């Protein structure tokens, strides 16, 4: 099981400090939300931010690209030091080629689906990927309400990897908190992204530990 704090809810003016707080607090991944203002109605950071954070932390840099035609940026993010690149199936007509590019860059490839996207859409790429991200809110903003109906997708993915020879981990992102993390773990999720739950509290380390304890089912 892995806990992945999202820096979307960190203090951007003190990012290095906030990254070190969750690293010391026992996080496994650092989740970096890249938004282009087109695929989602918000703008955040680019490969320059990943490159700037790389020397600051040993955490796995889990980069979630909410970007139209993300294949245009795979090389840049890989060179910046990303460990995992997560691409939306809705963001390109060539998701298979885009994921192949990620693998060819020597890093982990991950595919993600929006709440409105059926699981069937990613079935052809499941043999390729190291991780599948199931969005449990609509992407674009932190602090939204968890969508419990998405747990069905997590369960079906878990069954699919058991009946096939798939090796991907299942990540959930959006509205993950002490109220929802257990249901995600029970459905089969392995990686838990949490932004506002971790950074919205006075003691992020305690929040990480609470999530870890509740997810250990």
Residues contributing to the site for ligand DX5 (CB under 6 A): 6, 8-9, 31, 33, 64, 137, 139-140, 142-144, 173-176, 193-197
Contact partner at residue 73 from Zn ion, ligand DX5, none, CB < 5 to 8 Å by partner kind: none
Binding of Zn ion at residue 33 (CB under 5 A)? yes
Which of Zn ion, ligand DX5, none does 21 bind, CB closer than 5 to 8 A by kind? none
Binding flag, residue 173, Zn ion (CB under 5 A): yes
Q: Is 61 left (phi over 0), alpha (psi -120 to 50) or beta?
A: beta
Query: 10 burial class (0-12, 13-18, 19+ CB within 10 angstroms)?
Result: buried
Catalytic-residue membership of 33: yes
**Residues 83 and 108 sit within 8 Å (Cβ to Cβ):** yes
Task: For residue 151, give the nearest of 114, 195, 185 by alpha carbon.
Answer: 185
Region binding Zn ion by CB under 5 A among candidate stretches 21-29, 98-106, 170-178, 200-208: 170-178
Burial class from Cβ neighbours inside 10 Å (0-12, 13-18, 19+) for residue 179 reads exposed
Which of 18, 28, 33, 190 is catalytic? The answer is 33
Our answer to whether residue 173 is catalytic in this structure is yes
Least Å distance between CB 34 and Zn ion? 9
């Amino acid at each position: 099981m892995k806990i992945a704090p999202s820096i979307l809810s960190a203090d951007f003016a003190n990012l290095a400090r906030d990254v070190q707080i969750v690293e010391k607090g026992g996080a496994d991944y650092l989740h970096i939300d890249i938004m282009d203002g087109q695929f989602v109605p918000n703008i955040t950071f680019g490969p320059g931010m990943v490159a700037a954070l790389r020397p600051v932390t040993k955490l796995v840099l889990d980069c979630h690209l909410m970007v139209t035609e993300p294949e245009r940026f795979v090389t840049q993010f890989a060179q910046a030091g990303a460990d995992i690149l997560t691409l939306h199936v809705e963001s390109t007509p060539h998701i298979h080629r885009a994921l192949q590019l990620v693998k060819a860059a020597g890093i982990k490839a991950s595919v993600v689906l929006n709440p409105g996207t059926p699981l069937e859409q990613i079935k052809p790429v499941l043999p390729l990927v190291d991780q599948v991200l199931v969005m449990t809110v609509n992407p674009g903003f932190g602090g939204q309400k968890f969508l419990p109906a998405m747990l069905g997708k997590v369960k079906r993915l878990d069954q699919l990897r058991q009946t096939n020879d798939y090796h991907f981990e299942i990540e959930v992102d959006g509205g993950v908190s002490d109220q929802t993390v257990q249901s995600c773990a029970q459905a089969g999720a392995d990686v838990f992204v949490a932004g506002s739950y971790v950074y919205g509290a006075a003691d992020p380390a305690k929040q990480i530990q609470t999530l870890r304890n509740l997810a250990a089912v």
